[in-house]
Amino acid sequence: MSGAGLGISPGLRDAVQAWTEGLRALKGASEHTIEAYRADVLGFLGFLAGHLGGAGGVAQIGQLRQADMRAWMAARRLDGLGSRSLARALSSVKSFARWLAEREGVEISAILAARAPRYTRSLPRPLSEAAARDVIALVPLATRDDWTGLRDAAVVTLLYGCGLRVSEALGLTGRDAPLPEMLRIRGKGGRERLVPVLPAARTAVAAYLRACPHDPGAQAPLFRGVKGGALSRHHVAGVLRVVRAQLGLPATATPHALRHSFATHLLAAGGDLRAIQELLGHASLASTQVYTAVDARQLTEIYLAAHPRAKA
């Protein structure tokens, strides 16, 4: 990242810190998201320090021209940043600039006038129903110990059977066991939702808990590592890497792909889009509507593979 964090005035550093604290308090965004926003803004301010020659303060922000914004975006392109990541970085900068304008009264028209690059939103890559079943069946065999295999199977069953994010599944505690028919999940932005738990998921978690050698205290993580600590998302990703290699599945067959598969298969079975939005915990219906495109793409692929005229 060009000039990230270099030459930034103390006043601007304090402003960035106050802005990120405000995001934590008001938006309830995940720490990972907030850190990404913070890195975007620090990278922008670091670039300006080099580009404009010196660690200017808040007043320097009000003197920016559109040419300065274009120079920053061009530098990020040279750093190898793609259109989608650059659009996110610009969004972060604009958010910070608006906050700064309200607080300090600086002029930010040049920042707000900067246009994000266009990009094509990539569609989720779900597994087929057969592949999802194969993954769940093979996961218990990917580890040496019986109880860890049962644990990993329980996790991936929750991802596919309930549409949970990895962080949501690993965020469950002993208080959540035995799993109820309806599970209360706190997702992104602190939003809560109720998720039906399939009998297969309850059975998988119960089998793991019976075999787990660690005491499932109410405050302790439900899914434990070998030494008793919280299971990491890196372990779950590693298990999926092993399993997809054994099954010949593409690199897109990740833990999050199981959540995509849950939504896509539910939609294909006639699920209501609004209901799927609630189950996934999406703040906007637009985030859920992407699965209609996935379903349409799959129908097109089936049509092209099976229709006599398509084959001609």
Cα 242 to Cα 34, 140, 250, 253, distances in angstroms = 31, 11, 12, 11
d(CA 87, CA 115): 9
Q: Give the C-alpha separation, 244 to 232, whole Å.
A: 19
State both tokens at 223.
Answer: 């899914």
Sign of the C-alpha dihedral computed for residues 131, 137, 141 and 146 taken in this order: positive
Q: Is 42 exposed, middle or buried (0-12, 13-18, 19+ CB in 10 A)?
A: buried
Catalytic positions, please? 165, 188, 256, 259, 282, 291
Q: Which of 268, 281, 285, 303 is nearest to 126 (CA)?
A: 268
Ranges of beta strands (E only) in the chain are 182-186, 192-196
Range 81-84 contact pairs with CB under 8 angstroms and sequence separation of 24 or more: 82/119, 83/117, 83/118, 83/119, 84/119, 84/121
From the list 65, 16, 21, the residue with the least C-alpha distance to 42 is: 16
Is 273 strand, coil or helix?
helix
